[in-house]
Structure 1
Amino acid sequence: MRLLLLLLTLAVCQPVFALDSSVRQLIVSIAPTWDSSVGKLQLFERQKDTWMPVGEPVRVLYGKNGLAWGKGELGQEQQGIHKAERDKRAPAGVFALGTIYTYDKALPDGASYPFHTITAADAWVDDPLNPLYNQHVVIDPANPPPWFEKQKMRLDDPPHRWLVEIRHNSDPPVPGAGSAIFFHIQRGPDRPSAGCTVMTQPAIVRLIRWLRKGDNPHYVLLPREEYLRLWKTWGLPDPKTSPALFD
């Protein structure tokens, strides 16, 4: 009986929200505070049980108003401010990646990841009242729905040339909890996004070339203090492996 109680106690004490072992590529971005619109991003690969950095950290921009807890694989259970539609905050937590969307016919040379070429029939719905909220939709151009004009994806817009889907509020979407969250090219050196994580074109091309679907890539975005509080429980890279990311 005592042995059973001991085993139950150990089970309860084990981390509940650890990162799944199938994740072998990790994109980690650290913001100085919850209200920061600028931070750093670093790539990591899992080698056995250790996360190893790939390359050097790059500068990135978030939402104009900083960060808020998002709805992903980890983080939505945390207390604090949570993301809402049009709050101009990037979702914090751990998120799976989805499809890459582009108006090009192919990914950059060397890339190998699922992608979709955007046409005049593609939309991403950000209206919380629409039943298709936070979903990619391809419509019939001969018979477009009334909402399509305001929801269609942009063609020939340089910052949206590469859209790497960050699966926030996706499984299933909750109306009003935030939509259309991507990695994409920044519009200017100091211009924050509406809630995406944005970077220079060379940085996002490097990211796209690195991604491999079979390695189940995930994205971690956290303020520095939250990362230091959670990294062991969640199975994230040891901050000591990339000190420059936390400077």
Structure 2
Amino acid sequence: MNRVAESRTLRLINVRPRPGNPAQGLLVAGNLVLRCALGKGGISAFKREGDGATPLGPMRLLYGWHRQRRGLAAFSPLPFHAVRRDDGWCDAPDDRNYNRPVHAPYRASHENLWRKDGLYDICIVLDWNIRPRKRGCGSAIFFHLARPGYLPTEGCIALKRGDMARLLPHIDQRTVIRVLR
């Protein structure tokens, strides 16, 4: 069966590593099983800034950014903001805005959310290390679009565009992504 779920909103999405390739995973959403990219450091129960690992455990979907004119976000009940060229996300553990959105140019290290490669055309913030926030325990853990070939992320979970489009109508702020080993 190739349907997402009988109900309108998914409450739980499970992600497991693919056998033999810890930087790729299988995302299970209802009856749908999708290939996904994971962090180049595999999955870790002890996530640290810069380790490239996807955190082990449950993470709620908070809200997202979308690149206007590239579609998709309009089809989700999850709150989305249009990404602007100056949107960023601080990844400097010693900065007061660590693991928070910022506006570029920003004095500390940060991820740019406006990207030429399209990975953040849809970018959903996961609640990893948001509240409470611990310095150095990982930042910018997102659910976003995958590179061709499902190349590894820096710790995020990524789907190809078509698969993300299939999921968006079924996810909201009550949806939890649970990363398993």
TM normalised by structure 2 equals 0.84
Q: Following TM superposition, by how much is the alpha carbon of 1:190 offset from its aligned partner in structure 2, in angstroms? A: 4.0
Q: Which residue of 2 aligns with 1:59?
A: 35
Distance in 1 between the 2:83 and 2:96 partners?
A: 21
What do residues 180-207 of structure 1 show as CA deviations (whole Å, max 9, x unaligned)? 0111111121411111111211111112
- SS across alignment from 1:159: coil
Question: CA–CA distance in 1 between the matches of 2:28 and 2:160?
Answer: 14
SS at match of 1:177: coil
Cα distance between partner residues in 2 of 1:166 and 1:126: 15
User: 1:170 Cα deviation (Å)?
Assistant: 0.8
Residues 22-71 of structure 1 deviation map (CA, whole Å, 9 limit, x = unaligned): x961111112579711221111xxxxxxxxx24x20111211120112xx
User: Any idea what SS the aligned residue of 2:49 has?
Assistant: coil
In structure 2, relative to structure 1, the CA distance for the partners of 1:99 and 1:108 (3 Å cut) is closer
Distance change (3 Å), C-alpha of 1:100 and 1:34: farther
Select which of 194, 200, 213 maps to 2:154.
194
- What is the match of residue 159 of structure 1? 119
Q: Aligned-pair distance for 1:128?
A: 0.7
Q: Can you list the C-alpha shifts for 1:76-124, whole angstroms capped at 9, x where unaligned?
A: xxxxxx0101101100101111111112266445322201111123120
Which residue number in structure 2 is paired with residue 38 of structure 1? Answer: 24
Sort the Cα spacing of 1:155 and 1:39 in 2 relative to 1 into closer, same or farther, 3 A.
closer
Counterpart mapping for 1:1-247 below 5 A: 25-32=11-18, 36-43=22-29, 53-54=30-31, 56-69=32-45, 82-104=46-68, 107-137=72-102, 139=103, 144-147=105-108, 150-213=110-173, 216-223=174-181
User: In the alignment, is the contact (CA less than 8 A) between 1:34 and 1:66 conserved in 2?
Assistant: no
Report if aligned partners of 2:89, 2:140 keep a CA contact under 8 Å in 1: yes
CA gap of 1:136–1:32, structure 2 versus 1, over 3 A, is same
For residues 105-160 of structure 1, what are the alpha-carbon distances to aligned partners after superposition, in whole Å with 9 as ceiling and x for unaligned? Answer: 664453222011111231200111111000113x4x7xx54337x54322443111
Gaps of 5+ in 1: 1-22, 44-52, 70-81, 224-247
- Give the % identical residues: 26
Q: 2:14, 2:28 within 8 Å by CA — same for their partners in 1? A: yes
SS in 1 for 2:148: coil
- Count of aligned pairs between the two proteins: 172
Q: Which amino acid aligns with 2:39?
A: G
Alpha-carbon distance in 1 for matches of 2:142, 2:35 = 16
Contact 1:35 1:65 (8 Å CA) reproduced: no
Q: Which has the higher contact order (CA 8 A, sep 6+)?
A: 2
Indicate if the aligned counterparts of 2:77 and 2:171 stay in contact, CA closer than 8 A: yes
Q: Which has the higher helix share?
A: 1
What is the CA–CA distance in structure 2 between the aligned matches of 1:200 and 1:29, rounded to whole Å? 15
